[in-house]
């Protein structure tokens, strides 16, 4: 049997395969570890952490839509201190790269979180969430402001030696400008996409089904949007891309790589089949063997237009 190399590089970050689990869809790893061996993954992106704990939005937070789901979690998380105290010790038990996702309501808060976590060896990189659609302050507000995203990238880079990935929103006008500013300010990679803003009404009560009124759309329904955004970045900015959005199978992973992704993240699929990521990794290997692909990473941005 031929040897297949599934490993990928995102700047200085080396992953043994391109399959990461997306922020907000694996918690801090402990629940999903009952189903899979985390060490087999390319990496895990933890639930967005903010300086202080966040209770999140009132229910209903989840709504299924055609081929997707809306969520309005509102960044419910344990906060920085509790993350360090009770979540990092668990993650230390694994060799898998941990990417810590940070969300914040102010530029200083991003910096403060990154500075505090910089000394944590268990963390391999940061993913900066400037694109959560479900909180009033921060999140999307920054996600729509090129200058703010630039400032955040630069200031976070200044306080950490770890790779910094900036997670971009599909909701703004021009994703290329955002990817450019991330590169300019020294960001190591971008991840795209976060969820798309959506809503839904009960036709009998005429009220929105989600308490927060709007939520973020994820799942297979958003895959074509994600691919188009990734392609746009790939054609215009020289920066590694982590592709996210509606991945349901190994075929989707290949498609995301062809469109420009160096690695990918699996989100909503974890809720439906928490073992899917591991199956996908083994299917990617089968695919490479079958089609004589020695290095999976050679697929990145291999589109023929």
Partner 1 sequence: MFIIDAPIEEIIELENQIMLCKLFAPEIAKSVKPGQFVNIKVSETIAPLLRRPFSVCDVEGSFIYIMFNVLGEGTKLLAHKFKGETINVLGPLGRGFNFDGNFETAVIAAGGLGAAPFAFLVKQLSKDKKILCFVGGRTSRDVIDYGMKDVIPSTDDGSLGFKGNVVELMNDNLDLLENKRLKIFACGPTPMLRALKEFSLKNNFECEVSTECAMACGFGICQGCPIPSSEDADKNYLVCKDGPVFNVKDIIL
Ligand X SMILES: Cc1cc2nc3c(=O)[nH]c(=O)nc-3n(C[C@H](O)[C@H](O)[C@H](O)COP(=O)(O)O)c2cc1C
Q: Which residues sit at the interface with partner 1, rule CB under 8 A? A: 24-27, 31-32, 34-35, 47, 53, 55-56, 58-64, 66-69, 71, 73, 76, 219-220, 248, 268, 270-275
Angle of helix 175-184 versus helix 223-236 axis, rounded to 10: 50
Is residue 105 within the footprint of ligand X (CB under 6 A)? no
Answer for which of 122, 233, 247, 253 binds ligand X (CB under 6 A) is 247
Q: Which does 56 bind (CB under 5 to 8 A by kind): partner 1, ligand X, none?
A: partner 1
**Which residue lies nearer to partner 1 by CB, 67 or 224?**
67
Q: Looking at 100, 113, 132, 288, which residue is catalytic?
A: 132
Strands (E), 38-143: 43-45, 62-65, 68-71, 98-102, 123-129
- Coil vs helix vs strand at 36: coil
* Residues with Cβ within 8 Å of residue 52, at least 6 apart in sequence: 79, 80
Please list every residue from 154 through 193 that binds ligand X, using CB under 6 A. 167
The reply to whether 212 sits near ligand X by the rule CB under 6 A is no
Query: In this chain, which of 18, 42, 219, 240 binds ligand X, going by CB under 6 A?
Result: 219
What tokens does 198 get? 């959506």
For 222-234, letters b (16+ CB in 10 Å) and e give: bbebbbebbbbbb
288 a catalytic residue: no
Q: Which of 17, 50, 57, 101 binds ligand X (CB under 6 A)?
A: 101
CB of 45 to ligand X, least distance (A): 7
Residue 89: how many other CB atoms lie within 10 Å: 10
Number of residues binding to ligand X, judged by CB under 6 A: 25
Backbone torsions φ then ψ of 95, nearest 5 degrees: -90, -5
Please give the positions annotated as active site.
132
């Amino acid at each position: 049997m031929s040897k297949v190399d599934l490993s990928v590089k995102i700047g200085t970050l080396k992953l043994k395969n391109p399959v990461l689990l997306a922020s907000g869809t694996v918690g801090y790893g402990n629940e999903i570890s009952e189903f899979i061996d985390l060490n087999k993954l390319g990496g895990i992106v933890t639930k967005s952490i903010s300086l202080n704990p966040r209770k999140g939005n009132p229910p209903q937070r989840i709504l299924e839509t055609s081929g997707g789901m809306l969520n309005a979690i509102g960044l419910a998380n344990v906060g920085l201190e509790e993350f360090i105290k009770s979540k990092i010790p668990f993650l230390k038990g694994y060799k898998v790269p941990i990417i810590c996702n940070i969300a914040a309501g102010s530029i200083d808060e991003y910096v403060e979180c990154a500075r505090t976590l910089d000394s944590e060896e268990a963390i391999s990189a940061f993913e900066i969430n400037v694109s959560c659609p479900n909180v009033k302050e921060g999140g999307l507000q920054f996600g729509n402001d090129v200058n703010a995203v630039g400032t955040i990238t630069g200031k976070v880079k200044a306080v950490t030696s770890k790779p910094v990935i900036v997670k971009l929103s599909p909701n703004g006008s021009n994703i290329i400008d955002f990817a450019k500013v991330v590169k300019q300010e020294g960001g190591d990679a971008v991840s795209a996409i976060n969820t798309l803003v959506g809503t839904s009404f009960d036709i009998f009560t005429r009220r929105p089904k989600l308490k927060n009124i709007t939520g973020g759309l994820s799942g297979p329904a958003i895959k074509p949007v994600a691919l188009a955004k990734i392609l746009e970045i790939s054609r215009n900015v020289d920066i590694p891309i982590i592709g996210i959005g509606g991945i349901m199978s190994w075929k989707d992973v290949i498609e995301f790589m062809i469109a420009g992704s160096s690695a990918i993240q699996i989100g909503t699929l974890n809720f439906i089949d928490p073992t899917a990521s591991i199956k996908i990794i083994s299917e990617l290997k089968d695919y490479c063997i079958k089609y004589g692909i020695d290095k999976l990473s050679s697929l990145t941005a291999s589109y023929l237009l």
